[in-house]
């Protein structure tokens, strides 16, 4: 008799657990918290794959050439500067070698950029080869603005400089002239300004004025291609075969044409638009802060979109469990906590499937396949929970609606907050409406 009594109490306890709505909600909440662990691991996996992509990009661009920023041409003019100092009660004159820099009045640049994708394993890296035509008109050298005497200038040591970010991108010797006279190029590195590139020695004199520098440069690079507006008036025309460039920097193009065959863009920048002048003594400003140009974006960045999708994982799991709970309540068909857990693992596994497929098929196609597979799996599993086909169909439709909703949010990034807020408001309103007749005290 004692054994039967114990069994009877155990049966009552299990029956209370299975029928207590409050306890079921606590258990569901606990399951959701547990599922956050594998979901966090999935997010770490996405970050790891993105880091692997960045490593691959660094490896490829390190051998090809990294992003390029072209600065120049500008004139470097060495001169002697005399300082009077007092030593041991005597006045002495110390001679220092300094450099004056002068920027062109007009800088006209035309560039053609031919891009391609290099494959390394399953990853693609955007690289390019460019043909650049430069024309820079210099006016009279304004020594008086820097308080420099013409007799102190080392005219025979003057040089014109063009800086590039990565010297490995130099394809061949540049073909340049000064007033139609060919110039010889030499490499230079300025540790003080952290600039490096081409140096063209020129011989000038105090009467030199209104000279024109022109030439062609071939340059390789990857991802970003920028210029600095050194001229009082800087004009840039860029064309290329990349269909979806991202224009960046301090200045956007005045005109642009984008199509499936490539792009064409033009800029015109005045010296009023930039934060530096035309003449400098011994030091140069940080020109790169005023650079502009474009970036070759890959058509799809699946990792960023996958990370954004994974941020909605808790929302998907919670809404899916809420739908199961309400269906359990109205159909009186009890669902075991283990069944909730299995459904939850299916929802979490979706993100691993998504990132694996997106690396090969692209994000949109991967999202469709992963969503159909997950909804199909959970739909078939729900048939073992709900005997009525109508109930299974309702649950399947709810899951499909959730994934469509998240996809719309991901694709409409500018309106994500608005769409998400409206969607959650509608979900809350629907839940309140559906659950209005539930007597929570009797449940």
Give the model's pLDDT for residue 11.
63
- Alpha carbon distances (Å) from 181 to 33, 154, 215: 75, 21, 11
Q: Would you say residue 88 lies in a domain?
A: yes
Domain at 158, CATH number: 2.60.40
Can you state the angle between helices 389-411 and 313-331, rounded to 10 degrees?
Answer: 160
Q: Would you say residue 443 lies in a domain?
A: no
Give the model's pLDDT for residue 136.
95
Q: Reply yes or no on whether the pLDDT at 187 is more than 50.
A: yes
Q: What is the mean pLDDT of the chain?
A: 85
- Same domain (yes/no): 103, 168: yes
Place 7 in a pLDDT band, splitting at 50, 70 and 90: low
- Same domain (yes/no): 314, 269: no
Can you state the angle between helices 337-361 and 313-331, rounded to 10 degrees?
Answer: 140
Give the model's pLDDT for residue 316.
85
Percent of the chain residues past pLDDT 70, beyond the cut: 92
Average pLDDT over residues 118-135: 86
Structurally, the chain folds into a number of domains equal to: 2
Number of other CB atoms surrounding residue 66 within 10 Å: 19
Looking at per-residue confidence, does 206 or 73 come out higher? Answer: 73
Give the model's pLDDT for residue 130.
94
Residues 253, 238: Cα–Cα separation, whole Å: 10
Give the model's pLDDT for residue 298.
64
| Range in 4-8, 36-40, 43-47, 134-138 the model is least confident about | 4-8
pLDDT tens-digit map of 323-362: 888 888 777 778 888 888 898 899 888 888 888 888 788 8
Q: Reply yes or no on whether the pLDDT at 300 is more than 70.
A: no
- Same domain (yes/no): 29, 113: no
Is the CB of residue 143 less than 8 Å from the CB of residue 165?
no
Place 388 in a pLDDT band, splitting at 50, 70 and 90: confident
Average pLDDT over residues 422-429: 82
Number of other CB atoms surrounding residue 202 within 10 Å: 21
Give the model's pLDDT for residue 2.
46
- Same domain (yes/no): 402, 355: yes
- Same domain (yes/no): 217, 321: no
- Same domain (yes/no): 83, 172: yes
- Same domain (yes/no): 307, 284: no
Q: Would you say residue 1 lies in a domain?
A: no
pLDDT tens-digit map of 406-423: 888 887 766 777 877 887
For the chain, state the CA radius of gyration: 34
Number of other CB atoms surrounding residue 440 within 10 Å: 10
Is the CB of residue 61 less than 8 Å from the CB of residue 125?
yes
Residues 294, 77: Cα–Cα separation, whole Å: 32
Give the model's pLDDT for residue 282.
85
Residue finishing a domain among 245, 279, 298:
298
Give the model's pLDDT for residue 3.
47
Q: Would you say residue 12 lies in a domain?
A: no
- Same domain (yes/no): 89, 148: yes
Average pLDDT over residues 173-199: 89
Looking at per-residue confidence, does 436 or 432 come out higher? Answer: 432
Give the model's pLDDT for residue 78.
94
Is the CB of residue 147 less than 8 Å from the CB of residue 89?
no
Q: Reply yes or no on whether the pLDDT at 438 is more than 80.
A: no
Q: Would you say residue 389 lies in a domain?
A: yes
- pTM value is 0.73
Q: Reply yes or no on whether the pLDDT at 442 is more than 70.
A: no
Is the CB of residue 318 less than 8 Å from the CB of residue 402?
no
- Same domain (yes/no): 83, 193: yes
Residues 294, 136: Cα–Cα separation, whole Å: 22
| Range in 195-199, 262-266, 391-395, 412-416 the model is least confident about | 412-416
Q: Reply yes or no on whether the pLDDT at 268 is more than 50.
A: yes
- Same domain (yes/no): 175, 267: yes
Q: Would you say residue 139 lies in a domain?
A: yes
Q: Would you say residue 8 lies in a domain?
A: no
Residue finishing a domain among 247, 266, 298:
298
Residue finishing a domain among 240, 264, 298:
298
Q: Would you say residue 90 lies in a domain?
A: yes
Place 439 in a pLDDT band, splitting at 50, 70 and 90: low
- Same domain (yes/no): 289, 325: no
Tell me the residue range of the domain where 316 lies. Answer: 20-54+303-437
Average pLDDT over residues 276-302: 85
Give the model's pLDDT for residue 10.
58
pLDDT tens-digit map of 42-101: 888 878 887 787 787 788 877 888 999 999 899 999 999 888 777 776 778 888 899 999
- Same domain (yes/no): 107, 220: yes
């Amino acid at each position: 008799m004692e054994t039967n009594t114990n069994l009877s109490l155990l049966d009552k306890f299990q029956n209370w657990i299975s029928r207590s709505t409050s306890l079921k909600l606590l258990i569901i909440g606990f399951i959701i918290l547990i599922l956050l662990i594998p979901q966090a691991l999935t997010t770490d996996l996405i970050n790891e794959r993105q880091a692997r992509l960045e490593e691959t990009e660094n490896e490829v661009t390190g051998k090809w050439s990294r992003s390029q920023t072209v600065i120049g041409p500008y004139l470097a003019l060495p001169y002697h500067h005399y300082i009077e100092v007092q030593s041991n009660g005597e006045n002495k004159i110390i001679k220092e070698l300094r450099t004056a820099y002068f920027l062109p009045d007009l800088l006209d640049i035309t560039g053609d950029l031919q891009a391609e994708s290099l494959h390394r394993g399953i990853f693609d890296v955007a690289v390019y080869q460019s043909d650049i035509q430069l024309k820079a008109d210099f006016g009279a050298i304004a020594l008086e603005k820097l308080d420099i005497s013409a007799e102190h200038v080392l005219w025979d040591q003057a040089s014109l400089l063009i800086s590039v970010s990565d010297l490995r991108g130099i394809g061949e010797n540049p073909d340049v002239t000064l007033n139609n006279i060919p110039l010889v190029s030499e490499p230079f590195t300025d540790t003080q300004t952290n600039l490096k590139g081409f140096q063209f020695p020129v011989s000038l004199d105090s009467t030199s004025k209104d000279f024109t520098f022109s030439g062609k440069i071939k340059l390789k690079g990857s991802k970003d291609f920028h210029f600095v507006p050194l001229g009082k008036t800087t004009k840039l025309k860029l064309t290329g075969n990349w269909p979806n460039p991202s224009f960046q920097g301090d200045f956007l193009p005045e005109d642009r044409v984008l199509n499936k065959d490539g792009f064409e863009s033009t800029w015109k920048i005045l010296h009023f638009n930039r934060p530096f002048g035309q003449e400098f003594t011994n030091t140069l400003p940080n020109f790169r802060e005023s650079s502009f140009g474009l970036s070759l974006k890959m058509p799809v960045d699946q990792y960023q979109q996958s990370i954004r999708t994974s941020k909605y994982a808790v929302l998907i799991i919670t809404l899916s469990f809420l739908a199961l709970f309400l269906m359990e309540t109205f159909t009186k068909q009890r669902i075991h906590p283990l069944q909730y857990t299995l459904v939850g693992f299916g929802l979490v596994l979706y993100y691993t499937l998504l990132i694996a497929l997106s690396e090969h098929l692209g994000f949109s196609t991967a999202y469709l396949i992963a969503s159909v597979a997950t909804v199909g799996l959970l739909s078939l599993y729900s048939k073992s929970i709900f005997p009525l086909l109508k109930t299974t169909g309702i649950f399947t439709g709810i899951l499909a609606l959730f994934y469509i909703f998240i996809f719309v949010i991901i694709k409409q990034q500018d309106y994500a907050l608005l769409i998400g807020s409206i969607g959650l408001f509608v979900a809350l309103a629907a839940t309140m409406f559906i659950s209005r007749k539930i007597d929570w005290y009797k449940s």
